[in-house]
Amino acid sequence: MAQVEGWVRVMPDAEVEEGTIYGFEVDGEERILTRVEGHLCALDGICTHEFAELVEGEVEDDVLWCPLHGSGFNVHTGAASNLPATTPLATYDVRVDGGEVYVAQAPREQD
Amino acid sequence: MTPRQRCVILGAGVGGHFAVQALREAGYDGEATLVGAEGVRPYDRPPLSKAFLQGAKTADGLFFKPPEFYRELDVELRLEAPVERVDIESHRLVLSGGGSMPFDTLLIVTGASPIRLRQPGFDLPGVRYLRSLADAEALRADLQRAGRVLVVGAGFIGSEVTASARALGREVTLVDLLEAPMVRAIGDELGRRYAELHRSHGVDLRLGASVVELRGDGHVEEAVLADGESLACDLVVVGVGVRPETSVVAGTPVAVGRGILVDEHGATNVPGVYAAGDVAEWVHPALGRRLLVEHFDNAGMQAASAARAVAGQPESYAPVPSFWSDQYDTTLQYYGYPIPWDAVVLRGDLDGFPVTAFYLAEGRVIAAAMVNRPREHRAARRLIAAGAAVDPDALADPATDLRALARGLPGE
C-alpha cells in the first residue's frame, strides 16, 4: 500500500479503541489519535500549557485531559475547554482507506 | 438613545483576563474597562515561582494575550490605575493617584496579597515576597547572586521557591512552624513525603521552627530562630500565606467575611457589584458551604462565570476546585474542596511517590491529591463531584480499577 502525499498511515482502523489514546510521530513531532463515539480524532501530542505528553492523558466524553496540570481540550476542535491551558491544540484531518487510518500531515486551520 | 452601560473589571490578573473575554463572549455590548495597578496586561502567575524563577521562561512568555486581543474585544485597558476605594453611592472608583472612574457594573477581581511579617528585621533589604511579576523579577535577580537562601513558610509558594532555588544551585534553609510542608492543604501523610523530598534534594528543612528576628547591617545577614539558633543568610523569601485584597470595599455596604461575600453568580449584596476569584467567598451550591479558593483555575473560572452574570447570562457556579504544584520532579494535581476531612486513604507507593491521597469526610470523597499518578485524575475527580461514598479498603487497593468505581457517576 503506497503512502499518499500529505497523509501519514498510523494504524489499522479496527485496532483503534474507543477512548484509548495512541501516540505517533510525524517528522519528529508527537501526535495522538483517539476515537470518541466512533469518530477518529487526531491532535498534537504536546500540551499547549506546559510540556506534557498527551498520550499519557485521558479522554472522557469529548474532552482530552492533560496528565500534567489537568488542562482540557475538545477532541474535535482542539479548543482549550479547561484551564490552565488557554491556547488551542492543533487538530488534523483523519480518513480511513483500505482499513487503515491516515492522518493529515498539516494541521487544520484554527478558528 | 440611552448612554452605553459601563462595566469596570477591577483587577488585571487571571480573573480580569477571563472576565473580559467571557463578558464579550456572552454578548455584553456596553463599555468594558479593565483596571490594574501593576502596569502590565494580564499574565500567567503560576510560573513565577517555577519556570520564570529558574530562567526557563521570560516575562514576554507569561502574557495571556497581546494588546491587540483586548482592542479587538473593545476593552479599554487602564493598567496603571491603583484604586483606593469603591464609592458605592456615586458608583465610582476613587483612584489612588487622584481622580475617579464611573461604573454601572463593577466586577472586583483584586485577588490576594502576601501576608507581611512584622518581626524585627523583616524590613531589611534582602527580604522578598512573591506575588507579582515585579516581585518575581526582583527575586530572580537576587537568586542569581545569593549565597545562602532562607525561605520562611513551607506552603505552596515557599516550597516551590525552595525547589527553584535548589535547581539554581543555591543553598536553601526552609523553615515552617508546622510539622510538614503544605500540611494544611494536603495533610500530614503527603506533607511528610514532601519533607523527605526537600531533604533528598539537599534542603536544610526546619519544621516546628520559626524565625523571630532577622539581623544585618544594611542588608539581611542572619536569621534568629525561636530556639535561639542563628542561621546565616543573604536572601530571605517569605511565603506565609495571603489575604484577600478586600480593602477597596472597606467601609462600604459591601458585605465581607474572609473575602467579599458573593452568591453563586458572583453577585455581592450590593446591586451591580460582583466579585470573583481569590478575593471572593461564596456558598458552593452543591456543597452548601462557604468556600474561598486561592488558586489559578478558580480565579479564571469564577471571574468568567461572574462576567456572564453581568452580561445577563447567570449560571450556578459549582466547580470541583483544582490546583497543581510542581516541585523538583513531582507534579501534585489536586481536585476537591478545601474543607476539613476526617480520614485519608493512600494509594500507591507506601513511603514516597507516586501516590494518591483521598480525603474523606463522613465516608464521602471530598478531595484527592495525586502526585505523579496522572491516570487517576479523571476518575478521582468524578468520585469527588459525585460525593461518592467509597469503601476505603477498595480505594487503597491497587487492584481496584478507579475508573470502574467512577463509572456511571455524573462527570460535571
Contact yes or no for B152/B162 (Cβ under 8 A): no
Cβ-based neighbours of B382, under 8 Å, separated by 6 or more: B388, B406, B409, B410, B411
User: Tell me: the pLDDT tens digits for A20-65?
Assistant: 999 999 999 999 999 999 999 999 999 999 999 999 999 999 999 9
**What residue in B sits closest to A84 (Cα-Cα)?**
B297
Q: Answer whether A65 touches B (CB < 8 Å).
A: yes
Pairwise CA distance, residues B22 & A104, whole Å: 33
- Interface size between A and B, measured as CB pairs under 8 A: 39
* Sequential pLDDT tens for chain B (412 residues): 677 899 999 999 999 999 999 999 999 999 999 999 999 999 999 999 999 999 999 999 999 999 999 999 999 999 999 999 999 999 999 999 999 999 999 999 999 999 999 999 999 999 999 999 999 999 999 999 999 999 999 999 999 999 999 999 999 999 999 999 999 999 999 999 999 999 999 999 999 999 999 999 999 999 999 999 999 999 999 999 999 999 999 999 999 999 999 999 999 999 999 999 999 999 999 999 999 999 999 999 999 999 999 999 999 999 999 999 999 999 999 999 999 999 999 999 888 999 999 999 999 999 999 999 998 999 999 999 999 999 999 999 999 999 888 887 765 4
| Closest CA relative to residue B49, chosen from B277, B243, B299, B325 | B325
The pTM for the full model equals 0.94
- The confidence score (pLDDT) of residue B406 equals 86
Pairing of strands B235-238, B148-152: parallel
Contact at CB, A86 and B64, closer than 8 angstroms: yes
Q: Which cell numbers hold the place of B44?
A: 500567567
Question: What structural domains and CATH numbers belong to chain B?
Answer: 6-113+243-310 (3.50.50.60), 116-240 (3.50.50.60), 329-406 (3.30.390.30)
Q: Does A92 touch chain B (CB under 8 A)?
A: no
What is the nearest CA distance from B340 to chain A, expressed in angstroms?
Answer: 24
- From the candidates A47, A50, A65, which should be mutated to test the interface with B, based on the most B CB atoms within 10 A? A50
Residue type, B47: P
- Contact flag B297-A84 (C-beta cutoff 8 Å): yes
How many Å lie between the alpha carbon of A5 and the closest alpha carbon of chain B?
A: 36
CA distance B324 to chain A (A): 6
A69 touches chain B (CB under 8 A): yes
Which residues of B lie inside 8 Å of A (Cβ-Cβ)?
Answer: 44, 46, 51, 64, 296-297, 300-301, 322, 324, 331, 333, 335, 374-375, 377-378, 411
Q: What is the pLDDT of residue A93?
A: 97
Helix then strand then coil, in percent of chain A rounded to 5, is 5, 45, 50
pLDDT of the residue at A3:
65
Residue among B300, B375, B411 minimizing CB distance to A83: B300
Per residue, the 3-state secondary structure of chain B, as one string, reads: CCCCCEEEEECCCHHHHHHHHHHHHCCCCCEEEEECCCCCCCECCHHHHCCCCCCCCCHHHHECCCHHHHHHCCEEEECCCCEEEEECCCCEEEECCCCEEECCEEEECCCEEECCCCCCCCCCCCEEECCCHHHHHHHHHHHHHCCEEEEECCCHHHHHHHHHHHHCCCEEEEEECCCCCCHHHHHHHHHHHHHHHHHHCCCEEEECCCEEEEECCCCCCEEEECCCCEEECCEEEECCCEEECCHHHCCCCCCECCCEEECCCCECCCCCEEECHHHEEEEECCCCEEECCCCHHHHHHHHHHHHHHHCCCCCCCCCCCEEEEEECCEEEEEEECCCCCCEEEEEECCCCCCEEEEEEECCEEEEEEEECCHHHHHHHHHHHHCCCECCHHHHHCCCCCHHHHHCCCCCC
In what order do the strands lie in the sheet containing B127-129?
Answer: B127-129, B235-238, B148-152, B171-176, B204-207
The Cα-based distances of B200 to B125, B159, B163 in angstroms read: 31, 14, 11
Closest-CA distance, B234 to chain A, in angstroms, reads 32
Closest residue of chain A to B382, computed from CA coordinates: A60
Q: What residue in B sits closest to A54 (Cα-Cα)?
A: B374
**Which candidate from B333, B375, B411 shows the least CB-CB separation from A69?**
B333
pLDDT tens string A58-107: 999 999 999 999 999 999 999 999 999 999 999 999 999 999 999 999 99
Judge whether A68 is closer than 8 Å to chain B, CB to CB: yes
Rg of chain A in Å (alpha carbons): 13
Q: How far is B331 from chain A (nearest CA, A)?
A: 7
Optimal mutation site among A47, A59, A86, A111, interface B, most CBs of chain B within 10 A = A86
The complex scores an ipTM of 0.83
Contacts of A60 in chain B (CB under 8 A): 378, 411
Min Cα–Cα distance to chain B from A25, Å = 22
SS3 A14: helix
Nearest residue in A to B378, CA atom: A58
B333 vs A contacts (CB less than 8 Å): 68-70
Q: Which chain B residue shows the shortest CA-CA distance from A21?
A: B375
- The terminus-to-terminus CA distance of chain A in angstroms comes to 34
* CATH of segment(s) A3-104: 2.102.10.10
CA distance B374 to chain A (A): 5
- Measured between beta carbons, the chain A residues lying within 8 angstroms of B374 are 56-58, 67-68
Mutate to test the interface with B, among A34, A61, A69, A82 (most CBs of B within 10 A): A69
**A57: nearest CB among B46, B301, B374:** B374
Q: Taking the CB of residue B234, how many other CB atoms lie within 10 A of it?
A: 17
Domain spans in chain A, listed from the N-terminal domain onward? 3-104
Report how far residue B50's alpha carbon sits from residue B331's, in angstroms, rounded to the nearest whole number.
Answer: 12
